[in-house]
Amino acid sequence: MQSEALRNRLIGWLPILEWAPRYERKNLRSDLAAGLTVGAMLVPQAMAYALLAGLPPEVGLYAATIPVVIYALFGTSRQLAVGPVAIVSLLTASALAPLVEEGSADYLSAAALLALMVGVVHVVLGAGRLGFLVNFLSHSVLVGFTAAAAIIIGFSQAKHLFGISIERKDHFYETVAEVLRNLSDTNSATLVLGVVALATLFLLKRLAPRVPGALVVVIGSILAVELLNLEDRGVKVVGDIPDTLPSLGLPSFDGSLIGNLAATAFVITIVGFMESIAVAKVYARRHRYEVEPNNELVGLGLANVASGLFGGYPVTGGFSRTAVNDTAGARTPLASLITAAIVLATIAFLTSLFASLPTAALGAIIIMAVVGLVDVAEMRHIAKVKRSDLIGLGVAFFATLILGIELGILVAVVASMLVVFARMSVPHTAVLGHVEGTTSYRNIDRFPEAETIDGVRIIRIDAALSFVNAVNVKKLILGHLHQISEEPRALVVDASGINDLDATGAEMLEEVLTEIDECDVRLHLADVKGPVRDVLHDAGIWDRLGDRIHTSTNDALEAIAADRPAPSDRRRYGIDERAATASEAMDQHA
C-alpha cells in the first residue's frame, strides 16, 4: 500500500512515469509525424516571436528546446505544444523596453530573468494549490483582452511589412500615428515580399491546412532574397544566427529590475496559464483524459525556469501549435520531445541557412498567427449567451488598446470583478405561486397559472446574503409587505437559493425581523441550508424565529393555513440536524 501511494505521488509530480512505461508502439508513427510537423512550424514561429519580443532569433529557438522537454516530463497534457507565443512575447517586450536597451546583453539577461520569475510564480501557485486565482480573469474578459492584444501585435509588425523604421511606443494609438508618419519611407520590395508571404499563408491555411505554411514562406522568402538580390534593394534580413546550443547559466539578478518585473511576471503567468489550460482541457476532453490545473502550473513553471536558465524567455502553451500537434496525430508527450529535437538539430546544423530570412516574412508569420485571436464568432456567442458579459469584454478590449497591455489587463480584471459584484448586489428574486395538483411553487412571472394565496406572500431569494447585497435584499423583502393586506398576514421566504450568510447578512435579517414584526406580519423561513442554519443559530435568529422555520415552502403554507407551529422535532422532519432540546422533547411527548 505504501509503495502504491508513493508511486501515485511520484506520478503526480512526474507524469512521464505514467505514460512512458505503458507506451504503445502503435502510437510511435503518429507521435513522430506530429513532432516533425510541429517542429517545422515552431522553428520559424519561434524566431518570429523572438523578433516580436525584441530579442534575436536564436533566443526564440532556445525557448523552443529545453522548456519543451521539461514540459513533456512534468506536464499533464498529451497534446499541448509549449513554446514562445505571441501575447507573451508582446508582454515581454512591453515590460523590458522601458527598463533595458533593446539589443543589448542586459536585455537578453532581463528576458531570461523574467522567464525565471514567471516560472517561480507558476510553481508557487501550483504547489500552493492556488490555481483558482486565474478565475479572476473571466472568459469574456480574456476574449476581449486577446482580441486587443492581437490587433496590437499585428500592427506592431507593420514596420517589418513596409520596411520602415519606427520608434517603439507604449500605446497603440502612438504606434499607429508613428507608422502613418513613416509610410512615405516604405520599401516597395519589402512590401511586395510581405504581402506575398501573407497571401501564401492565408491560401495554404484555407486550401492545404496540413502543409506547414510558415516553413513554406520561410523557404520561399529566403530563395527570393538570394535569387533576386533583395537585400541590395533594402530588404532587411535576420543576419547570422549563432549555431551554439543553449547552455546552462544564471541571468544577472538585479533587485530593482526584479521589482519592476514582478507585476509583469504575474500577468504573464495568469494570461499564459489561462491560454494554456483552456486549450489543454479542450484536447483532454476530446481524448478522454484529465488535466489537473495545479499540476499544469508546476509543469509550465518548470518549463519557464528552464527557459530562464538556458537563455530563453517566457513560454506557455499555444492554440495554433496545439491544434496542429493534435491534427498531425500526437498521442503522447513524445511528440513534444521529437519537436524539441528538431529545433535543437536546426540550431546545431541549419542556422546558417536562415541568414537571408527577411524580417518581412517573420512579420507575416506573426500576423497570420494572431488573426485567429480576434474571435468574432466567440464574441457573438457570448452576446447570445449572456449579453451583460459584453461589458467586461468591451472594457478589456478598449482598455488594452488605449492603456496598453499591462494596465489594460488590470483594468479588465477590476471591471470583471465589478460586474460580478454588481450582479451580486441585486440578486434574482421571485414571487412564488402554487402549481395546482402538486406541492410545487413556481415563479409567477414564468408560470402565470401558478396561484398566489390571499394574505400570504411567498418569495425566493437566489443568492448568498452578504455585505454586497444586504441593503438591496432588505429593500426587496420589505417591499413585499404592502402586498400583504389581509389575514393570516404572513411572508414566507423560500431559502433554498441562499447558500451562504455572512455577519452583515445576518444583521440585515435581524433588522428585517424587527420591521416586519412592527408591521404585524409574521416571517417564515423554508428549506434553509446547513451553512445558513449555522449562522442563524450563532446570530440568535434561529431561536427568535422559533417555530416559523419549515422543511419546505409547502410545509410552511400548510402550517400557516392550519395556524399551527412547525414541528418541534426538527431533526426528524429535516428542519435542523440539531437534536430537540429536553423541553422541546417533553412538549412533543405531551
Same domain, 76 and 175: yes
Both 347 and 401 in one domain: the answer is yes
What CA–CA distances, in Å, run from 222 to 190, 359, 529?
Answer: 13, 10, 69
**Which three cell numbers mark 19?**
505514460
Asked whether the beta carbons of 40 and 342 are under 8 A apart, the reply is yes
411, 491: one domain = no
What is the rounded CA–CA span in Å between residue 128 and residue 294?
Answer: 8
Q: Which domain holds residue 476?
A: 429-589
Domain-located, residue 164: yes
State the average pLDDT over residues 570-578: 86
Q: 435 and 415 in one domain? A: no
Do 362 and 505 reside in the same domain of the chain?
no
475-514 pLDDT per residue, tens: 999 999 888 888 999 999 999 999 999 999 999 999 999 9
Instruction: Give yes or no: residues 482 and 541 share one domain.
Output: yes
pLDDT at residue 6, as a whole number: 56
**Residue 340, helix vs strand vs coil:** helix
pLDDT digits (tens, 9 = 90+) for 429-445: 999 999 999 999 999 99
Domain count, the chain: 2
Sequence-separated (6 or more) residues with CB below 8 Å from residue 297: 122, 123, 125, 126, 131, 273
Classify residue 5: in a domain, yes or no: no
Same domain, 385 and 436: no
Residues 6+ apart with CB under 8 A from 567: 573, 575, 588
The answer on 448 and 372 residing in a single domain is: no
Q: Tell me whether strands 456-461 and 490-494 are parallel, antiparallel or unpaired.
A: parallel
Mean pLDDT, the chain, whole residue set: 89
In a domain, 7, yes or no: no
pLDDT tens profile 95-154? 998 899 988 999 999 999 999 999 999 999 998 888 777 666 677 888 888 888 889 888
* Domain shared by 328 and 409, yes or no: yes
CA-nearest of 167, 166, 155, 164 to 187 is 164
What is the per-residue DSSP string for 58-95? HHHHHTTTHHHHHHHHH-S-SS--EE--HHHHHHHHHH
pLDDT recorded at residue 368: 87
443 and 375 within one domain: no
Asked if residue 411 lies in contact with residue 267, where contact means CB atoms within 8 angstroms, the answer is no
570 with 525: CB under 8 angstroms?
A: no
Question: Cα–Cα distances in Å, from 69 out to 25, 118, 282, 290, 340?
Answer: 20, 18, 22, 21, 6
Residue 65 pLDDT greater than 90, yes or no:
yes
CATH at residue 507: 3.30.750.24
Residue 212 three-state SS = coil
Distance CA 137, CA 152 (A): 20
Q: How far is residue 537's CA from residue 588's CA, in Å, rounded to a whole number?
A: 21
CB atoms within 10 A of CB 104: 10
Instruction: Assess whether 442 and 526 both reside in one domain.
Output: yes
Q: Residue 523: enclosing H or E segment and its boundaries?
A: strand 522-526
475 shares its domain with 411: no
Q: Which of 186-195, 218-227, 262-271, 579-588 shows the lowest mean pLDDT across its residues?
A: 579-588
